[in-house]
A and B are shown apart, each in its own frame.
Chain A
Amino acid sequence: QSALTQPASVSGSPGQSITISCTGTSSDVGAYNYVSWYQQHPGKAPKVMIYDVSNRPSGVSNRFSGSKSGNAASLTISGLQAEDEADYYCCSYTRSLNYVFGTGTKVTVL
């Protein structure tokens, strides 16, 4: 199972919006609406920010939103804040009944 493809880095100024892409195949991203996104600060465990493509868990800011089209998903962070600087990983459930993560994207707030 190959990792989903994400850009290595994305940056933006405070208040701006950024979008992180996540490209998979018809066996993972395109197979189900079980795409999730995780935020990870240095030395910390990942935290789920989006699940089922576009749902936010309780307590996650509505500045985070997700979408999917075909074999690609995306995470948008609007109104970028300093605390959003972190690594972000997409994740998809697959037809093999397991999970595959994306390669990870480092978000930098300029």
Chain B
Amino acid sequence: EVQLVESGGGLVKPGESLRLSCADSGFTFSSYSMNWVRQAPGKGLEWVSSISSSSSYIFYADSVQGRFTISRDNAKKSLYLQMNSLRAEDTAVYYCARENHGRLDYWGQGTLVTVSS
């Protein structure tokens, strides 16, 4: 069974940093591109970042470019999102999702990041 489990969320002040993790199991992690998607409270889904299976290709939404860094460790079957210079508007539930030929077919349960002074 495919499982994605996010962790690392919490309450931080504006300007601070946070690192999210996504532990994956039940599939060959190293064969898939992975994505982060976020959802602000009461709002819609927003794609954040993606990383190819070998980390060769990395993309970011304009809203996080230069502040967030996506990475992965295929040996540990884990996906990461380093978030720096956090802003109030980064407050959201962050989901990791497996990419499968143009769709995000498996999602984690999400981890809440709150940026507030």
Is B truly associated with A?
yes
Would you call B45 an interface residue if the criterion is a C-beta within 8 Å of the partner chain's C-beta atoms? Answer: yes
18 A–B contacts, CB within 8 A, in A order: A1-B61, A1-B62, A3-B44, A32-B102, A33-B102, A45-B107, A47-B107, A48-B104, A51-B102, A51-B105, A89-B44, A97-B59, A98-B47, A99-B47, A99-B50, A102-B44, A103-B44, A104-B45
Asked whether B104 lies within 8 Å of A36 as measured between CB atoms, the reply is yes
Asked whether A48 lies within 8 Å of B103 as measured between CB atoms, the reply is yes
Cα A47 to Cα B1 with chains together (Å) = 15
Residue of B nearest to A97 (CB): B59
Would you call A91 an interface residue if the criterion is a C-beta within 8 Å of the partner chain's C-beta atoms? Answer: yes
Asked whether A48 lies within 8 Å of B47 as measured between CB atoms, the reply is no
Given the known inter-chain contacts A46-B107, A51-B103, please indicate yes or no for A98 contacting B59, CB distance below 8 A: yes
Q: Mark B52-70, 1 if CB is under 8 A from A, else 0.
A: 0000010101100000000
Residue of B nearest to A32 (CB): B102
Given the known inter-chain contacts A46-B95, A48-B104, please indicate yes or no for A97 contacting B57, CB distance below 8 A: yes
Asked whether B108 lies within 8 Å of A45 as measured between CB atoms, the reply is yes
Q: Inside 8 A of B104's CB, which chain A residues have their CB?
A: 36, 38, 46, 48, 91, 99
Cα A45 to Cα B102 with chains together (Å) = 18
Q: Inside 8 A of B103's CB, which chain A residues have their CB?
A: 34, 36, 48, 51-52, 91
Given the known inter-chain contacts A1-B62, A89-B45, A104-B45, please indicate yes or no for A99 contacting B35, CB distance below 8 A: yes
A-B residue pairs, 5 tightest by C-beta:
A34-B102, A51-B103, A104-B44, A45-B107, A99-B47
Give the Cβ gap from A65 to chain B, nearest Cβ, in Å. 16
Give the Cβ gap from B39 to chain A, nearest Cβ, in Å. 8
